[in-house]
Amino acid sequence: MQTAYVKTPVGTAEITGDANGISVIHVLDGAHATTKKIPPELKEAASQLSEYFQGKRQEFTFKINPSGSEFQQNVWKELLKIPYGKTVSYMDITKKLGDVKAIRAVASANGKNPLWIVVPCHRVVGSDGSLTGYAGGLWRKKWLLEHENPSPQQSLF
């Protein structure tokens, strides 16, 4: 496994992966040194994250390899279907998975998403449209949603 640290507008992204794909992208709080020479296995992910923050990319195409239970994997696959600039509720996800009673389990799987931004858990909001918990902090969730939907006429919050 290789790891690289890349600066973003909302903190330092820690990218971990190998030839099988990127397994983890987390955002870190506080000051962190960035990686000067990014390992070849991580270059595409670092490049695409940079393009996302520059407003030049709406989808990620590098290979991912997150580790999680079958249920978590199913939730993350549903998250990958949320279009750039759009939001869905936890209830929407549970309905797509076929079990509306699994809302807490869906929220838990969402919170354990190991691929920050790439698997867009920041696009999941409360049924009333409110910002709800986000492992990276609600201020980051708000920033990301506004980054994806910058039109003042369509401001989400």
Catalytic residue numbers?
121
The token pair at 57 is 């990319």
DSSP letter at 4 equals: E
Backbone angles phi, psi at 80, to 5 degrees: -65, -20
Angle at 129 between CA 7 and CA 80, to 5 degrees: 50
The token pair at 61 is 């195409």
Who's near 109: CB < 8 A, 6+ residues apart? 68, 69, 71, 72, 75, 76
What span, in angstroms and rounded, lies between the C-alpha atoms of 87 and 115? 18
